Amino acid sequence: MTVRAVITGIGAHLPDRVVPNDWFSGFLDTSDAWIRERTGIERRHFAADGELTSDLAIAAGRAALVDAGVDPAEVDAVIVATTTPDQTFPSTAVKTQSALGVRGFSYDIMAACAGFVFAMGNADALIRAGLARRVLVVGAETYSRILDFEDRGTCVLFGDGAGAVLLEAREGERGILGVDLNSDGSYADLLYVDGGVSMGGTSGKLRMQGREVFRHAVSKLAQTATAALEHAGLDHGDVDWVVPHQANVRIIEGTAKKLRTPMEKVIVTVQDHGNTSAASIPLALAAGRADGRLREGQIVVCEAIGGGLVWGAVAFRL
């Protein structure tokens, strides 16, 4: 039988500090109503002083392993998707691996908000190639460290958090069925951070051309989700749930419309944590599983787009 990468555990972690929309009105020309109407976001979480991306990744990864009932020593690889690593090196994945007690190899993936989808594709390839049987995939971010709090067009959108899944090699019909990954660097100036090591060492701040990003997001997200389903031999009618990148409720609704998918079949959690970049899809998976919507045997498609531009989707049977 065909060996596939099957999700056997899901974990999530959010920092303790909750930041409601009203917090921004103390220093910006904005309001709770303005933010909710344009984004659907009600609150987000910010990491505490000294709380690192790896701290969030470790907590989410540990939760996924507990959920799967798997000893960390039995995990072959750790992949962490993040745009906000603790350090230039070592990787956040290495620090996560060490803290969890995983004996296999580990590495980071940087594909901005699409990082988790790219990491899922990597893990699927490792399992199909026989290089690993159990891969812990984590999306973890501390975007509060790179926000310009004088720019109301960006700083109200993002939050910190982490989510993780454990993928295991299993025979049968469950598992990852189709993956589609894309990038186009000609759009790099639409969404980026204006700093970095070779630009002088400063971490920089997030910059975004919001209208242009929105325009590309809806079309590219629908396109990549359709492509992943086609790779899997499925169409839109086969999908039980769409679990999208949680960037903005308007983007989520626009993409669902293009996919001819009713919002009743879309899991939305952006109201609770804002855009957590690579962490947003696994956080939504964890929420959907916790409240009973996501169940074994269902067909799920996840899609995301981020700075680069990079975009992709993965279709799987739970």
Average pLDDT over residues 217-246: 97
Spot the catalytic one: 21, 122, 248, 275: 275
Q: Domain map of the chain by residue range?
A: 3-171, 175-317
CB 294 within 8 A of CB 152: no
| Mean pLDDT score across all residues of the chain | 97
Q: What are phi and psi of 315, to 5 degrees?
A: -115, 135
Q: What does the pLDDT read at residue 167?
A: 98
Q: What does the pLDDT read at residue 201?
A: 77
Spot the catalytic one: 21, 245, 273, 302: 245
Residue 137 has pLDDT above 80, yes or no: yes
CB 137 within 8 A of CB 165: yes
Q: Is the dihedral of CA 270, 272, 278, 283 positive or negative?
A: negative
Does the bond joining 90 to the residue before it have cis omega, within 30 degrees of 0? Answer: yes
- How many residues in the chain? 318
Label residue 203 by pLDDT band (50, 70, 90).
confident
Average pLDDT over residues 269-282: 98
SS3 state at 110: coil
Token pair 């980026």: residue: 192
Label residue 161 by pLDDT band (50, 70, 90).
very high
Q: Is the dihedral of CA 294, 280, 6, 241 positive or negative?
A: positive
Give the CATH number of domain 175-317: 3.40.47.10
Spot the catalytic one: 113, 122, 155, 248: 113
Residue 86 has pLDDT above 90, yes or no: yes
Residue 261 has pLDDT above 90, yes or no: yes
Share of the chain above pLDDT 90, in %: 98
Q: What are phi and psi of 171, to 5 degrees?
A: -90, 145
Closest CA to 78 of 162, 137, 132: 137
Q: Are strands 134-142 and 77-81 parallel, antiparallel or unpaired?
A: parallel
Closest CA to 155 of 23, 16, 18, 57: 23
Q: Helix, strand, coil % (nearest 5) of the chain?
A: 40, 25, 30
Is the whole model's pTM more than 0.75, yes or no? yes
Q: pLDDT tens across 54-81, in order?
A: 999 999 999 999 999 999 999 999 999 9
275 catalytic? Reply is: yes
Share of the chain above pLDDT 70, in %: 100
Q: What does the pLDDT read at residue 195?
A: 94
Label residue 204 by pLDDT band (50, 70, 90).
very high
Domain 3-171 belongs in CATH node 3.40.50.150: no
Q: What does the pLDDT read at residue 173?
A: 94
What residues form DSSP beta bridges with 241? Answer: 300
Q: What does the pLDDT read at residue 13?
A: 98
Average pLDDT over residues 260-287: 98
CB 133 within 8 A of CB 127: yes
Average pLDDT over residues 161-175: 98
Label residue 18 by pLDDT band (50, 70, 90).
very high
135 vs 176: CA distance, rounded Å: 13
117 vs 163: CA distance, rounded Å: 12
